[in-house]
């Protein structure tokens, strides 16, 4: 455990070094959140009745999404891991006395966490100052907030274990970059990164809510403003746990197989 | 005149080398084109999903938005295809490859542009064309000479505008290699949010997009003419305002190069 | 003729230290260090000389090369090369020089070497007849016959370096800068490179300025050695001078001894 923690720490310190990058990233996310809200304002002005949730809840959804972007973002792939698979240097990683899947997992977590911690605070500080109903509002209750944190943590883990699959599949593809692009944008969209999941057509949404996509991003964002019933929330949490276990266990097994394959082939 | 021809020839030479390089990895090349097509499909799907719920936004119908979205996508992907060399500029500077550019007796811009073309953007271009032809038919745009000229001027102006933005991004690389992410607001952001005409975002955004970074000149104003929402024929000249923007970016680039040669970083 | 007089150059670099606590602290405060890269550097190099420019890492070698090749503008001092000030008349100046960066490639990775040569022909505006003449000569001397049709990525390091050198000479430069040309090469390739450089110098009168850590390179090539340390010229003489000052007949030992004695290591 200690060695994973130390990977974690190194990565975290590295992330903190880049102050300018953090400020730039925050600005970007703030502007994107703002633009997104302006779009929804325009749609709301045309037909408020067609909204699947209140405007406040939509604004909350968007701000939280921007604040915690690094938790879910598909494009946040560790280039070093990716490169070492592509150029075959993964063999060196095998010399270390650690499980490669666990190591990469903790590394992804660390780099995402260091980003999130740096970037969410300022956004969460500024977004409440945006005038109502465009800003972010407090969750309805403390209990609700705790549930939000729980689902956020779970969606973090589900996301990381999902994106671990991109590394695992990289072992098997001719076009790693194409894979990364394609999986990235499709997953991003299906988990609500393009437009919030509640705005999807009913049938599509129901379908996506069973698949891991909703577990990755949608659940905590909706839980926050209390737009899910307790029953729905419970079911969503169970699904998140289910997907976490399935994705991580299968990914770990698959990774071990891929690595064995590489060592047998000699790179 | 002779000089221009010389430059064009060199540029053509770069294009052919790039194409041949790309053809070395055919499988990957075509997969990437397919990937581009698919990934940009998600934005289209997003718009479609929204309009399954809403009739219109800010007075624009689904077809109007498709026209707007596809034109911006055309502008962006054309620009990206040819000006892509600048997108990788930060790594060029980081690896010291810009030194190599400077020890050659040719315009640095020409060399950087030539270093890399992204032909895989054809995928995105293809998708934009499909959406465009559908949107145009659905919105019932009647093609008059003025409208054809407007479209051409929008495309040209758009490419120039994005080229200016890329040039601006590259110029920043001379001063810092960190935090360049914020330029994404203006490049990727324009592609992402340009799908809706700027007036959808409100009056203030329209002002910004007219006077600060002139997106509106290549999108909103000529679009009114194209969609038959306005009769101002001279709106078709607005996109040419992008030239002014490009000139400003070029001045910034020159300033950046001067900084680079004096700091040597 | 190269003349450098009282050249000075200072850089500002950001201080970065390790550790979690430090990283947090530096989020809010940044410190700069001033580094004096060149401190009153003067020398003159005549046409047709081969000069080795040596010194430990960070001594100011690459700053000097950058100034000589027009990439870097010094803070003060004069420099005239064949009647031109490199950083002021950069375009004219760089057309007359060739630069080999040992660590970086100027050849296109995926396509045959000959294609890169043809691009360089267009970049330097070499007319076809002279190009063919040069290519024939270089091909014979560097034994490139079989390499020209091979994509760069399939070449060994030694083969690639031979091609790199040929690429830098396609336009008959009067001055050739070689930055660590033999780094990582096997014994045979090293000898080939050295032989060629000598021959080029003898037959075309090309001035060669060489930076390297390989004492054998220096012994084989240069009659004259300029030693730089901490931004100052410490010795300008022959190999014998190095051996005498360094107190050893063995070059490697002498250089190390000299670095220690002058406290520049």
Q: How far is A65 from chain B (nearest CA, A)?
A: 16
**Two tokens, residue B19:** 């194409």
- C-alpha span between B162 and B164 (Å, rounded): 5
- Mean pLDDT confidence for B86-105: 89
Q: Closest Cα to residue B137, out of B69, B74, B67?
A: B67
A24, A50, A194 ranked by CB distance to B182: nearest = A24
In a mutagenesis test of the B interface, which of C85, C122, C150 is the best target, namely the one with the most B β-carbons within 10 Å? C122
Percentage helix, strand, coil for chain A under 3-state DSSP, each rounded to 5: 80, 0, 20
CA distances from A15 to A27, A118, B179, B259, C19 (A): 17, 9, 13, 28, 12
**Two tokens, residue B241:** 């305002």
Q: Which helix (H) or strand (E) holds A248?
A: helix A230-265
Determine contact, residues A111/A15, Cβ cutoff 8 Å. Answer: yes
**Two tokens, residue C127:** 């007319």
Domains by residue range for chain C, with CATH: 46-261 (3.40.50.300)
Q: Does B48 touch chain A (CB under 8 A)?
A: no
What number is the ipTM of this complex? Answer: 0.89
Residue C32's DSSP bridge partners are C14
Q: Classify residue A199 by its DSSP letter.
A: G
All residues of chain C having their beta carbon less than 8 Å from the beta carbon of residue A12 are: 20
Convert the pLDDT of each residue in B156-214 to its tens digit: 999 999 999 999 999 999 988 877 878 888 988 998 899 999 999 999 999 999 999 99
Q: Closest Cα to residue B50, out of A194, A56, A66?
A: A194
Q: Classify residue A131 by its DSSP letter.
A: P
In a mutagenesis test of the A interface, which of C21, C23, C109 is the best target, namely the one with the most A β-carbons within 10 Å? C23
pTM of the model: 0.87
All residues of chain B having their beta carbon less than 8 Å from the beta carbon of residue A178 are: 28, 31-32, 34-35
Above 50 in pLDDT, residue B22? yes
Q: Does C25 touch chain A (CB under 8 A)?
A: no
Above 70 in pLDDT, residue C30? no
In a mutagenesis test of the C interface, which of B104, B117, B263, B265 is the best target, namely the one with the most C β-carbons within 10 Å? B104
Average pLDDT value for chain C: 90
Determine contact, residues B105/C171, Cβ cutoff 8 Å. Answer: no
CB contact under 8 Å between A16 and C20, yes or no, is yes
pLDDT tens track of chain A, all 267 residues?
A: 777 777 677 777 776 667 777 788 888 889 999 999 999 999 999 999 999 999 999 999 999 999 998 888 887 878 788 888 877 777 777 777 778 898 889 888 888 888 888 778 888 888 899 898 899 988 888 999 999 999 999 999 999 999 999 888 888 876 777 778 788 888 889 998 889 999 999 999 999 999 999 999 999 999 998 888 899 999 999 999 999 999 999 999 999 888 877 765 554
Please tell me the number of Cα atoms within 13 Å of A194 on its side-chain side.
24
Determine contact, residues C160/C105, Cβ cutoff 8 Å. Answer: yes
Q: Does A49 touch chain B (CB under 8 A)?
A: no
Convert the pLDDT of each residue in B235-246 to its tens digit: 899 999 999 999
Q: Which helix (H) or strand (E) holds A157?
A: helix A142-170
All residues of chain B having their beta carbon less than 8 Å from the beta carbon of residue A19 are: 178
pLDDT at position C93 is: 96
- In which band, very low, low, confident or very high, does the pLDDT at B131 lie, cut at 50, 70 and 90? very high
Domain residues for the domain of B205 are: 2-263
All residues of chain A having their beta carbon less than 8 Å from the beta carbon of residue C109 are: none
Average pLDDT value for chain B: 91
pLDDT at position A132 is: 85
- At a CB cut-off of 8 Å and minimum separation 6, what does B179 contact? A18, A20, A21, A23, A24, A25
CB contact under 8 Å between B100 and C125, yes or no, is no
Exposure string of B206-243, with b = 16+ CB inside 10 Å and e = fewer, is bebbbeebbbbbbbbbbbbbbbeeeeeeebbbbbebbe
pLDDT at position B264 is: 66
Give the residue on C whose Cα is nearest the Cα of A10: C20
User: Three-state secondary structure along B86-136?
Assistant: HCCHHHHHHCCHHHHHHCCCCCHHHHHHHHCCCHHHHHHHHHHHHHHHHHH
Q: Does A31 touch chain C (CB under 8 A)?
A: no
CB contact under 8 Å between B49 and A204, yes or no, is yes
Q: Does C16 touch chain A (CB under 8 A)?
A: yes
**Two tokens, residue B197:** 């005409």
Convert the pLDDT of each residue in C113-170 to its tens digit: 999 999 999 999 999 999 999 999 999 999 999 999 999 999 999 999 999 999 999 9
Q: For chain B, what is the domain count?
A: 1
CB contact under 8 Å between B261 and C110, yes or no, is no
Above 80 in pLDDT, residue C29? no
**Two tokens, residue A132:** 């109502």
Q: Is the dihedral of CA A243, A246, A250, A255 positive or negative?
A: positive
- Mean pLDDT confidence for C197-219: 93
**Two tokens, residue C210:** 């060489």
Q: Exposed/middle/buried for B178, CB within 10 Å: 0-12, 13-18, 19+? A: middle
Please tell me the number of Cα atoms within 13 Å of A48 on its side-chain side.
4
Q: Does A79 touch chain B (CB under 8 A)?
A: no
Q: Classify residue A194 by its DSSP letter.
A: S
Give the residue on A whose Cα is nearest the Cα of C28: A19
Q: Does B88 touch chain A (CB under 8 A)?
A: no
Give the residue on B whose Cα is nearest the Cα of C119: B13
- C-alpha span between A163 and C57 (Å, rounded): 42
CB contact under 8 Å between A194 and B46, yes or no, is yes
Q: How far is C153 from chain A (nearest CA, A)?
A: 14
CB contact under 8 Å between B32 and A175, yes or no, is yes
Give the residue on A whose Cα is nearest the Cα of B198: A39
Q: How far is A22 from chain C (nearest CA, A)?
A: 10
């Amino acid at each position: 455990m200690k060695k994973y923690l130390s990977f974690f720490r190194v990565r975290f310190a590295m992330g903190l070094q880049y102050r300018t990058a953090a400020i730039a990233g925050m600005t970007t996310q703030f502007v994107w959140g703002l633009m997104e809200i302006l779009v929804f304002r325009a749609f709301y002005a045309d037909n408020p009745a067609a909204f699947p949730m209140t405007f406040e809840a939509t604004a909350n959804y968007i701000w939280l999404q921007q604040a915690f972007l690094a938790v879910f973002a598909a494009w946040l792939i560790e280039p070093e891991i990716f490169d070492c698979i592509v150029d075959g240097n993964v063999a060196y990683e095998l010399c270390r006395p650690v499980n490669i899947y666990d190591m990469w997992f903790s590394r992804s977590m660390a780099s995402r966490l260091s980003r999130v911690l740096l970037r969410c605070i300022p956004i969460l500080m500024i977004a409440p100052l945006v005038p109502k109903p465009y800003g972010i509002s407090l969750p309805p209750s403390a209990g609700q907030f705790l549930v939000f944190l729980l689902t956020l943590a779970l969606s973090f883990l589900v996301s990381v274990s999902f994106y671990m699959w991109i590394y695992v599949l990289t072992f098997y593809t001719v076009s790693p970059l194409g894979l990364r692009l394609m999986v990235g944008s499709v997953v991003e969209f299906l988990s609500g990164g393009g437009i919030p999941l509640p705005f999807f057509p009913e049938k599509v949404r129901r379908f996506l809510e069973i698949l891991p996509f909703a577990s990755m991003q949608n659940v905590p964002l909706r839980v926050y403003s209390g737009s899910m019933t307790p029953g729905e929330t419970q079911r969503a949490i169970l699904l998140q746990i289910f997907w976490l276990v399935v994705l991580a266990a299968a990914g770990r097994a698959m990774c071990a197989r891929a690595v064995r394959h590489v060592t047998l082939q000699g790179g | 005149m002779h000089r221009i021809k010389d430059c064009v020839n060199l540029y053509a030479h770069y294009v052919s080398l790039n194409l041949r390089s790309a053809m070395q990895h055919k499988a990957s090349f075509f997969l990437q084109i397919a990937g581009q097509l698919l990934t940009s499909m998600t934005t289209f799907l997003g718009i479609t999903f929204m309009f399954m719920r809403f009739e219109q936004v800010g007075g624009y119908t689904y077809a109007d938005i498709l026209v707007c979205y596809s034109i911006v996508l055309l502008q962006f992907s054309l620009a990206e295809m040819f000006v892509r060399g600048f997108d990788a500029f930060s790594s060029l500077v980081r690896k010291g490859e810009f030194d190599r550019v400077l020890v050659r007796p040719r315009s640095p811009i020409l060399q950087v542009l030539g270093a890399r073309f992204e032909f895989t953007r054809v995928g995105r271009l293809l998708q934009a064309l499909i959406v465009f032809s559908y949107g145009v038919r659905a919105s019932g745009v009647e093609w008059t000479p003025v409208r054809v000229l407007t479209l051409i001027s929008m495309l040209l102006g758009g490419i120039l505008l994005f080229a200016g933005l890329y040039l601006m991004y590259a110029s920043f690389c001379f001063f810092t290699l960190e935090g360049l992410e914020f330029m994404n607001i203006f490049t990727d952001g324009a592609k992402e949010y340009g799908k809706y005409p700027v007036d959808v975002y409100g009056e203030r955004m329209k002002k910004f997009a007219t006077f600060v970074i002139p997106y509106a000149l290549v999108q909103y104003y000529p679009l009114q003419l194209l969609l038959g929402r306005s009769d101002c024929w001279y709106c078709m000249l607005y996109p040419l305002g992008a030239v002014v923007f490009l000139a400003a970016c070029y001045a910034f680039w020159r300033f950046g190069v001067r900084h680079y040669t004096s700091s040597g970083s | 003729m190269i003349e450098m007089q009282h050249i000075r150059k200072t850089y500002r670099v950001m201080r970065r230290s390790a550790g979690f606590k430090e990283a947090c602290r530096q989020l809010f405060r940044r410190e700069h260090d001033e580094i004096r890269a060149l401190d009153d550097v003067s020398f003159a190099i005549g046409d047709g000389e081969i000069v080795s420019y040596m010194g430990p890492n960070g001594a100011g070698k690459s700053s000097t090369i950058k100034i000589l090749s027009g990439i870097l503008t010094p803070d003060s001092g004069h420099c005239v090369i064949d009647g031109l000030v490199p950083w002021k008349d950069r375009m004219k100046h760089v057309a007359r020089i060739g630069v080999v960066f040992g660590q970086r490639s100027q050849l296109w990775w995926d396509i045959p070497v000959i294609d890169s040569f043809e691009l360089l022909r267009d970049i330097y505006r070499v007319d076809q007849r002279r190009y063919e003449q040069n290519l024939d000569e270089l091909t014979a001397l560097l034994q490139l016959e079989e390499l020209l049709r091979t994509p760069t990525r399939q070449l060994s390091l030694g083969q690639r370096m031979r091609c790199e050198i040929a690429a830098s000479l396609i336009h008959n430069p009067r001055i050739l800068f070689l930055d660590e040309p033999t780094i990582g090469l096997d014994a045979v390739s090293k000898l080939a490179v050295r032989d060629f450089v000598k021959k080029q110098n003898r037959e075309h009168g090309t001035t060669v300025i060489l930076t390297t850590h390989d004492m054998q390179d220096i012994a084989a090539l240069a009659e004259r050695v300029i030693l730089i340390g901490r931004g100052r010229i410490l010795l300008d003489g022959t190999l014998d001078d190095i051996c005498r000052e360094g107190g050893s007949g063995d070059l490697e030992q002498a250089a190390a001894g000299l670095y220690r004695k002058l406290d520049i290591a």
